[in-house]
Structure 1
Amino acid sequence: MVETVKNATTHNNKGDLFSSFNVEDFEVPGGRDEVWRFVSLRRLRGLHNGKFAPQAPAQIAVDGPSEVTVEQVSLDDERVRAAGAPVDRIAAQAWTSSENATLVSVPADAELAEPITITVTGAGADVTTFGTIVVETGTHSSATVLVKYEGSGTHADNVNWVVGEGSRLNAVVDADWELDAVHVGQQSVVVKRDASLRHHVATFGGEVVRITPRVVFEAPGGDAELTGVYFADDGQYIENRLLVDHAVPNCRSNVLYKGALQGDKSSDLPEARTCWVGDVLIRAEAEGTDTYETNRNLVLTDGARADAIPNLEIETGEIAGAGHAATVGRFDDDQLFYLRSRGIREEDATRLIIRGFFNEVLNQIPVESVRDELIARVAGELERNAN
C-alpha cells in the first residue's frame, strides 16, 4: 500500500499529497514550501497559521429548482467526505472551523432546466468566515450549479463535487469579491463512471484569491473540462493551482485557462500578479488517457507579472494523448496591425483583440446571464486601463 506524507516533504507524486480533515495534522507553511511559494503569506491574514481575525458564521444561501435537496449536515457525514480530505493547512482550517456542511443533492435521472445558485457572502472587513459545501449529482442526472462569491472579508472554504455515474454537471465558480477580500478555497472533485464535468472559474475581484481544483477519476469513461478566466489589476494576486488525477483507464480531460494583467508603476499598491499551476497526473493503471492543458496570459502594461507552470506526470506510455502549453506575453502585434490597417483606432483594436482572447473561454459558460456579466467585466477592466 502506498503511504502519503506531509506537504512540503518528498512524496510519491502530485496525487499522493498528505490529506487530513484536522488542521493540527498540518505544519504551518513557510514561504519556501513549493505549494505556497508564489503567494505572500503575509497577505493571507492569518489563514495559514491560525492567527486570523475573529470568526463569524459563513453566509451561504442556496436557490434552486424544487427537485433539489439542501441540507445542513454533520462534517462526519459520509456524503460530505466522499470527495476526500483537505491537502493543505488552510483547507483543513476551513474544515475544522466549519460548524457543519451545506449539502446540495440532485436526484437521479433529474434534468434540471434552471441552474442551482449558491451564494457565499463575506461577513465584512476584519471578520473571518469558513465554509464547507458539497454538491452531489445522482445517476444519469443533468445540472448546472453556480457558486457566486460576493462582499468583503476573509474567507476560506472547501467546495466538493461528487459527479454521479453517467451524470452531467456544469459547475461555474464566480469569485466576484470586493477588492478588499481574501479568499482561499480548495475544490475537490470526484468523477464517477461515464460522468461528464464542465468546471468553470472566473476571478476578477478580491485582493488575494487562491482557488485549487483537484479532479480525480473514480471509474472509466469520465470526461472533465476545466476552464478559467482571470483579470488582475494593481493590488490583486490571483492564483489558480489545479490537479487532474487520471487514476483509472480511458478517461479524458482538457484544461484551458486565460488571464490578463494590467498595472501602474506609479501606484502604491503591490504589482498586479497572477499564478497558474496546472498539474496532470497519469498513473500507471490509467491506460487510454487523453489529456491536454493550456494556459495563456496577456500582460497589458508594465508593472505586472504572470507565472504559468504546466506539469505533466506520466507513468504509462499506453495513452491516447497528452500535452500542455503555456504562454505569457503581449497581445499579437500582427492582429493589431491588421485592425488598424482597416481604419480601427488603436485603443478600439486593442479592446477587440482582448475580448476575442477571453471569448474562447467565456463562450463555454452555460449560464447566459453569467456569461454576459463576465463579458461586461472584461469591458470594464479595459475601460479602466484606458483611463
Structure 2
Amino acid sequence: MAATTTELTTDHSRASADAAHSHGGPAAPEASRASRFASFDIADFPAVTGAEEEWRFSPVDRLQRLIGGTATGTVTVDVTAPEGVGVAVTKRDGASTTGVAGVPNDQLAATAWGAALERTEVTIGANAEPTSETTVVVRGEAGSAAAASHLLVTAQHHSKALVVVDHVGTAELAQTVEIDVHDGAHLTVVSIQDWDRGTVHGSSHRARLGRDATLKHIVVSLGGDVVRVTVDGEFTQPGAMLESIGLYYADAGQHLEHRLFVDHAVPRCTSRVTYKGALQGVGARSVWIGDVLIRKAAEGTDTYELNRNLVLTEGARADSVPNLEIETGEIEGAGHASATGRFDDEQLFYLKSRGIPEDVARRLVVRGFFAELIQQIGVPAVEQRLEAAIEAELEVTGL
C-alpha cells in the first residue's frame, strides 16, 4: 500500500502465502526486510541523500548533524528505581562495545551507538516484581552541543516490571535504547518524548525477546521540533509476545516520525502494533512506517498492525505505510490496516442532532479517537498525563 495522505484503509487479515510476498511500500520493488544492512560503525554506511527508503519521509536537513556522526555533547540521565531493580553506569569505547539487542540499521542509529561514551543500565532481577515503576529522566539543556546517549533495560527471567523513560528540556540527541527481555519475563517500557520546542531527537529502540517473554512497548511523542523513533523487535525463542503502542500529536511545524520493524524469525510468537496520531496546524507532519517480516521458520506466527491518523486542520500531512512480508503459509494470522482522514461527519451529525454544540462535539470525537488506545497503556499516571496533554492540544486548536 502506498503512503496515505488522504482517507485510505487497508485490511489483510488471516493472510497466508505459499511463497514470500509483501503488502505495501512504494511502487518500485524493494529488497526483503531480511536483508537490511546493519553495522555498529557509521563509516560502513553510505552518505544520506534523502532518496533512500529509510529517509524519504524524513527532514534530512534538520537531522544532518545526527545523521553525519557529530554528537559530542551530553544530556543528563537520572534514574529512580525501587527495590529489586539495579542501576549502573558503565564506560564505553564507542562502536567497539558489543550490542545486546541487535545492530544499528541506519546512519542515525550508528551515530548514537558510536558517540555514546557511557551506558546507563537498568536491570530487573530474576523473579523480581517491583512494587513501583522505575523512572529514567533524560534532560537536555538549551544551547548544548549535539549529544548521544545509551540506555540498556534488562528484565531477567520471570521478572515483572515497568520502566518509564521521560525526555524533557531542549536537546539535539541521538539515542540508543536496548531492551533485553529474558525467558518468562514481563516488561513494560514507556518512552515519552515531551521535549520543548527546538529539540531534534533521533532514537533507536532495539528489543529482543526470549522464550515466553512479554514486552509492552509504548511510545508517546508530543514535544520537540523533529522526533524520529525507530523500534526493532526481534523474537529469539518461541512463545513470546510483543505489544507495541504509540500515540502522537503534531502541531504546526512539528515532524513526528515512527518506524517499526518486527522480526518474526522463530515459531509461535505474537505481535500487535497499534499507533494513533492527530495533527493540527500548517506544516504539522507525521510519518508512520510499520514493517513486519515473517520468516520461513516462523510457523504459527500471529501478527497485526494498525495505524490511524486524524487530521484536524488544513496544512497538516500524515504519511502511513504498513508493510507485511510473509515467507511461510503456516501461520495463525497476519494483517494490517491504515487510515488517514478528517472528522467523521456521521459522528458529528449524530452528536449535533442530540443538541451537542459543534465545538463540543469535535472535542468528543478527538477524545474518543484516543480513548481506547490510552486505556490500553495500563499505567494510570501516564494515562492521566496523556489525557491532560490532549486537552491542552485541543485548546491550542480552539476546538
Category of TM-score, reference length = shorter chain: over 0.9
Q: Is the 8 A contact 2:112 2:174 kept in 1?
A: yes
Alignment partners' CA distance in 2, 1:15 and 1:192: 20
Q: How does 1:1-387 map to 2 (within 5 A)?
A: 13-50=32-69, 55-75=72-92, 81-264=99-282, 271-386=283-398
The residue number in structure 2 matching 1:4 is none
RMSD, matched Cα: 1.8
* Cα distance between partner residues in 2 of 1:378 and 1:354: 9
**For residues 255-291 of structure 1, what are the alpha-carbon distances to aligned partners after superposition, in whole Å with 9 as ceiling and x for unaligned?**
0000011114xxxxxx111100000000000000000
**Contact 1:250/1:288 (CA < 8 Å) preserved in 2?**
yes
Q: Distance in 1 between matches of 2:57 and 2:164?
A: 28
Q: Residue type of the partner of 1:319?
A: I
Letter in 2 for 1:69: G
- The unaligned stretches of length 5 or more in structure 1 are 1-9, 265-270
Q: Is contact 1:209-1:238 (8 Å) kept?
A: yes
Q: Return the alpha-carbon distance in structure 1 between the equivalents of residues 373 and 33 of structure 2.
A: 26
CA gap 1:141/1:80 in 2 versus in 1, 3 angstroms = farther
Is the Cα–Cα contact under 8 Å of residues 184 and 211 in structure 2 kept in the other structure? Answer: yes
Deviations 1:334-367 (A, max 9, x none): 1111111111111111111111111111112232
Residue-pair matches, total: 370
Greater RCO, CA 8 A, separation 6+? 2
Deviation at 1:182, TM superposition (A): 0.4
Measure, in 2, the Cα distance between the counterparts of 1:117 and 1:11.
Answer: 40
Provide the rounded CA distance (Å) in 1 between the counterparts of 2:216 and 2:43: 34
Moved more, 273-282 or 255-264: 255-264
Q: C-alpha distance in 2, partners of 1:277/1:221?
A: 25
Q: Secondary structure at the match of 1:363?
A: helix
Instruction: Please say if residues 284 and 317 of structure 2, whose CA atoms lie closer than 8 Å, have aligned partners that are also in contact.
Output: yes
Whether the 8 Å contact between 1:80 and 1:134 is mirrored in structure 2 is no
Q: C-alpha separation between the residues in 1 aligned to 2:185 and 2:298?
A: 21
TM-score (norm 2): 0.90
Paired residue type of 2:331: I
Q: Distance in 2 between matches of 1:90 and 1:139?
A: 31
Whole-Å Cα distance in 2 between the matches of residues 39 and 375 of structure 1?
Answer: 28
Structure 2: how far apart are the matches of 1:12 and 1:275?
21
Deviations 1:96-129 (A, max 9, x none): 1111211111000001120011111113235211
Alignment check: 8 A CA contact 1:365 1:371 kept? yes
Give unpaired runs (5+ residues) of structure 2.
1-28
TM-score by length of 1: 0.92
Q: Distance in 2 between matches of 1:228 and 1:345?
A: 30
